[in-house]
Structure 1
Amino acid sequence: MKLSNLLNAFLVSLLLIVPNFDAVAGSDHDHQQDDSEHSETATGPNGGRLFKTGDFSLELQLVEQGKAPEYRVFVKDREKTVAPVDVDVTVTLSRLGGKKDTISFKPDDAFLKGTSPINEPHSFSVEISATYQGEVYEWHFDNFEGRTQIAAPIAEQLGINTNIVQAKTLTKTLPVYGKLALPAGAKRQISARFDGEITKLTALLGMQVKKGQHIMTIQSNDSLQSYRVISPINGIVTKQNVGLGEQTAGRSLIEITNMTELVAELQVFPNDAAKIRQGAAVSVNVSGLNTPINTTIKDSLFSVAGNQAKTYRAFIPNPNNQLQVGQFVSADITLESFTVPMAIEKKALHAFRDFNVVFAKFGDQFEVRMLTLGRSSGEWVEVLSGIDIGSEYATDNSYILKADIEKSGASHDH
């Protein structure tokens, strides 16, 4: 195992096992607290968070009942319910990145109802301001979830890399399989114009020849005159049917094959054939090559194969004869290309509660961002909402962040 892998494994074990890793990594885990960090949060009769100053009390309730989360406020003075129209309340939510949500309230039956939804994640510092009978009451508490803090040197050692939410051109592809074949006209059968004896033979089996090259000399049986035979194409001698001193006897003498271009014959089944268009981009993968070969669909054969698949053909350059006829290939045919305003790497995605999330980075703090996803292509997926364009998010080894958050016993405030 490489030293870097050993270091990574050791640090991950610290993160998952050692109770005081917070001190090592500078981790600020999920917590919910009121003004007194060590006191228990008081709960009101409606299950919300209760605040009191003298005889005046306010209960802040987060409601999630199959709809967008909202705040509700219940107010009492001297243990008597205060009419919602008699009090003004404002709640300010301060999030990572300097964003603030200001929630105003309107009377709704026996409580005050927030006029704006409480967007995910429910991770913010909360400031409450209530005005009643000329008096202003204020409270503050922190409500963090899905958040952790890891010092930059530790994050670097753990291999936690990041990327930026950005526009991306994605492609929808169809995976197919096939094999390499020769294009039409790639072979030439060389025979004698006048039968006779082969007196010189310079093109032997396996040799490469060039167009116009002298490949044999034949002495005519009729005229006893010798004439030269030249190669009509560049290629390789793939068959040698005669030897020096033999008679031509009206047969094919040698076969020359031009392999500088091959055809990938790709099989597409009936349900997908209608999606393929001539000229579509295709990426062909050949065993032994480190990178795919990018080409296009040239045409298709008029008949189907025995398995009812239609054969589409893509021409592939082979200048060094590195590829061989009959080699099996896999390919991805482009069906559609589209540009999306926001995309992220799939490897950055994690499950958190009932959401697909990434961990957005703010300095040395990371926090979940709940995403609505769209179309996907390869290693990328479209983001419809949940994070801002230009945001930095964790990619490689981001599972460490999730493990750290889960280790802290994160809770969700309702």
Structure 2
Amino acid sequence: MNFNIDKSSKKSGQMIAIILVIIISVVLGGLILKTEKPKAMTEEHEEHAEGEAHSEHEEGMSEESSGLDKQAIEAHEKQHAAQSPEVLKGPHGGKLFVKEGYGVEIAIFEEDTPPEFRVYTYLNEKPLEPTLSKVSLELARLGRTPEKFNFFKESDYLKSNATVMEPHSFDVHLNAVYNNKSYTFAYKQVEGRITMSDKQMTLNAVEVLTAGPAKIKSTLKLQGEIKLNADKSVQIVSRVGGIVEKVSVNAGDNVRKGQVLATVSSQAIADIRSDLLAAQKRVGLARTTYEREKQLWEEKISAQQDYLQAQNDLQESEINLSRIQQKLGALGAGTSGAGQTRYDIRSPIDGVVTVKKVSQGQVISEIDSLFEVSDLSTVWAEMTIYAKDINTVKSGQQVTVKATAFDAHAVGNIAYVSSLVGEQSRTAMARVVLNNPDKTWLPGLPVNIELTSSEADVPLAVSVEGIQSLNEETVVFGRYGNYFEARPVTLGRRDDKYVEVLEGLNAGEKYAAGNSYLIKADIGKAGASHEH
């Protein structure tokens, strides 16, 4: 019995010992876990794990409250006690930074005002009087000298002393002094920027030029029309009345000088040719008589008076023959033909039949215009000059003529400027003679005419190929290292090659010119945004 009691006591002592060991193990384990927890948080801080922690910060910040969430501040300080904190969104929609209970919210405001920095300060989740903090800011852009901003009180915030110029793509370093303690915060804001290596530029044929001075030509643009060169156009008439037997050409046909255009049957031509035949016979008879009388006179058989009379008759008959021949020549009619009544109307020049007003069987008179033949190797470009531009257009000025219906242009000089202004139109007219060897410029074709009215040297210009539109702004893509970044620009005068830059780009900066639209497309794919 005593044995059993001793045995039972021994078992109870073992159980108590086991329980004590378990309790001690649990206590030690708790102490170890408590000791390891700060270490794990420190390691997280050193590795900058942002995912869930950043989400907790954003959830902890209430946009509707004028103060700050205490839990968000505490979590923020624990994770970022040794360096600038993560960027949170503040109550005013700006970027919020908190350190040791002191908070700074910075925003770019541009509603009904030029873009400006606004800074809101907080202490322990409560708004802080702005004048208790002294804030300064340095803004660094690609390829530019850093800009410095100071701040002054405006309502419940601090306002920057200068405008925040576009683009809003930069590195920001903000320094705030509160209660004799300095706080430094930094963040980066990127928009309208892509990375492109030199090799990628070569593959995409992106041309990079340097912004600098250029000569800008101011041009005057006028409207005009191609017309026939009246100096090389001929109105063809019959010169004799008659009936048209045959028409050999149509409008638009090319003809050579001397080519028959139409054949006319004319009694007047028949009469003249009959007179010609009679005159030729009289000349023959007079010459025979003259030769006989000359021989008789030389042989002393007949009197000199008979010889002189025969000589005079010959001369008169020859003069009459010549007169009839000249008359036929003036009419353009031959001295003989298949029929004495036929008369061929011929082209006096090489050219194109631009007008045809005759048909077979038509009765015509000697004053009727039957054809117009024009030499189209040159044409006129006539332009309308408004009264305000009359003093700008001068004879001899070089102009560029451009077709409106297709891609064609030609260069010429003003040959004539009218000295009168139309009473109704209040416009004048100027004319340019254009070479037209390929018959590109057809009469009636509307054209635009550009002439250089002045030339000016500008200190800063870029190629017209470098100008693009992005987010409803006119931009140039500056080249900085391996980056292209959109730079909004204000433009001035321009011509076909260059555009003057008034603001937004500095002399010596490189920019994308040829194929710059590819950069715009890449920025669009990357999702260009305007961040504040």
Is the counterpart of residue 404 in structure 1 residue 517 in structure 2?
Answer: no
Correspondence for 1:143? 189
Identify the match of residue 283 of structure 1 among 376, 392, 400.
400
Report the Cα distance in structure 2 between the residues aligned to 1:341 and 1:63, rounded to whole angstroms.
Answer: 33
Is the counterpart of residue 370 in structure 1 residue 417 in structure 2?
Answer: no
Number of equivalent positions:
338
Correspondence for 2:264? none
Identify the match of residue 479 of structure 2 among 336, 351, 361.
361
Letter in 2 for 1:88: K
Letter in 2 for 1:222: I
Shift in Å at residue 255 of structure 1?
A: 4.1
Letter in 2 for 1:397: N
Shift in Å at residue 64 of structure 1?
A: 1.3
SS state of the match for residue 400, structure 1?
helix
* 1:37–1:179 Cα change, 3 Å: farther
* 1:244–1:381 Cα change, 3 Å: farther
* 1:349–1:322 Cα change, 3 Å: closer
Report the Cα distance in structure 1 between the residues aligned to 2:160 and 2:505, rounded to whole angstroms.
Answer: 23
Is the counterpart of residue 169 in structure 1 residue 216 in structure 2?
Answer: yes
Identify the match of residue 432 of structure 2 among 291, 314, 324.
314
Match runs of 1:4-153 below 5 Å: 38=50, 40=54, 41-153=87-199
Shift in Å at residue 341 of structure 1?
A: 4.0
Identify the match of residue 266 of structure 1 among 357, 382, 388.
382
* 1:133–1:277 Cα change, 3 Å: same
SS state of the match for residue 222, structure 1?
helix
Report the Cα distance in structure 2 between the residues aligned to 1:302 and 1:349, rounded to whole angstroms.
Answer: 42
Render the CA deviation track for 1:248-272: whole Å, top value 9, x for unaligned: xxxx998468979945241427688
Report the Cα distance in structure 2 between the residues aligned to 1:350 and 1:131, rounded to whole angstroms.
Answer: 43
Correspondence for 1:337? 454
Correspondence for 2:355? none
Which ranges in structure 1 are unaligned for 5 or more consecutive residues? Answer: 1-34, 190-203, 208-219, 226-238
Correspondence for 1:222? 319
Instruction: Determine if contact 1:360/1:369 at 8 Å carries over to the other structure.
Output: yes
Render the CA deviation track for 1:316-352: whole Å, top value 9, x for unaligned: 467xx66699645634132733434444444433332
Name which of structure 1's ranges 291-300 and 50-59 shifts more when overlaid on structure 2.
291-300
* 1:393–1:109 Cα change, 3 Å: same
Instruction: Determine if contact 1:183/1:261 at 8 Å carries over to the other structure.
Output: no
Correspondence for 1:193? none
Report the Cα distance in structure 2 between the residues aligned to 1:117 and 1:222, rounded to whole angstroms.
Answer: 101
Correspondence for 1:393? 511
Render the CA deviation track for 1:274-310: whole Å, top value 9, x for unaligned: 5762334421358999762231252238697x99985
Shift in Å at residue 185 of structure 1?
A: 8.7
Letter in 1 for 2:92: N
* 1:289–1:85 Cα change, 3 Å: closer
Instruction: Give the TM-score, by structure 2 length.
Output: 0.52
* 1:88–1:155 Cα change, 3 Å: same
SS state of the match for residue 154, structure 1?
helix
Bigger radius of gyration among the two: 2
Instruction: Determine if contact 2:90/2:105 at 8 Å carries over to the other structure.
Output: yes
Report the Cα distance in structure 1 between the residues aligned to 2:118 and 2:406, rounded to whole angstroms.
Answer: 64
Report the Cα distance in structure 2 between the residues aligned to 1:283 and 1:58, rounded to whole angstroms.
Answer: 62
Instruction: Determine if contact 1:174/1:332 at 8 Å carries over to the other structure.
Output: yes
* 1:140–1:308 Cα change, 3 Å: closer
Instruction: Determine if contact 2:379/2:434 at 8 Å carries over to the other structure.
Output: yes
Identify the match of residue 228 of structure 2 among 181, 187, 191.
181
Shift in Å at residue 42 of structure 1?
A: 0.9
Letter in 1 for 2:129: A
* 1:163–1:294 Cα change, 3 Å: farther
SS state of the match for residue 292, structure 1?
strand
SS state of the match for residue 418, structure 2?
strand
Letter in 2 for 1:264: W
CA RMSD of superposed structures (Å): 4.5
Is the counterpart of residue 156 in structure 1 residue 274 in structure 2?
Answer: no
* 1:241–1:223 Cα change, 3 Å: closer
Shift in Å at residue 128 of structure 1?
A: 1.1
* 1:176–1:82 Cα change, 3 Å: same
Shift in Å at residue 144 of structure 1?
A: 0.5
Instruction: Determine if contact 2:229/2:376 at 8 Å carries over to the other structure.
Output: no
Report the Cα distance in structure 2 between the residues aligned to 1:129 and 1:240, rounded to whole angstroms.
Answer: 103
Shift in Å at residue 73 of structure 1?
A: 1.4
Instruction: Determine if contact 1:165/1:390 at 8 Å carries over to the other structure.
Output: yes
SS state of the match for residue 520, structure 2?
helix
Instruction: Determine if contact 1:170/1:337 at 8 Å carries over to the other structure.
Output: yes
Letter in 2 for 1:132: Y
SS state of the match for residue 368, structure 1?
strand
Instruction: Determine if contact 1:349/1:357 at 8 Å carries over to the other structure.
Output: yes
Instruction: Determine if contact 1:179/1:327 at 8 Å carries over to the other structure.
Output: yes
Letter in 2 for 1:54: E
Report the Cα distance in structure 1 between the residues aligned to 2:408 and 2:334, rounded to whole angstroms.
Answer: 41
* 1:263–1:74 Cα change, 3 Å: same
Report the Cα distance in structure 1 between the residues aligned to 2:386 and 2:122, rounded to whole angstroms.
Answer: 71
Instruction: Determine if contact 2:138/2:148 at 8 Å carries over to the other structure.
Output: yes
Report the Cα distance in structure 1 between the residues aligned to 2:162 and 2:389, rounded to whole angstroms.
Answer: 49
SS state of the match for residue 88, structure 2?
coil
Report the Cα distance in structure 1 between the residues aligned to 2:197 and 2:335, rounded to whole angstroms.
Answer: 80
SS state of the match for residue 521, structure 2?
helix
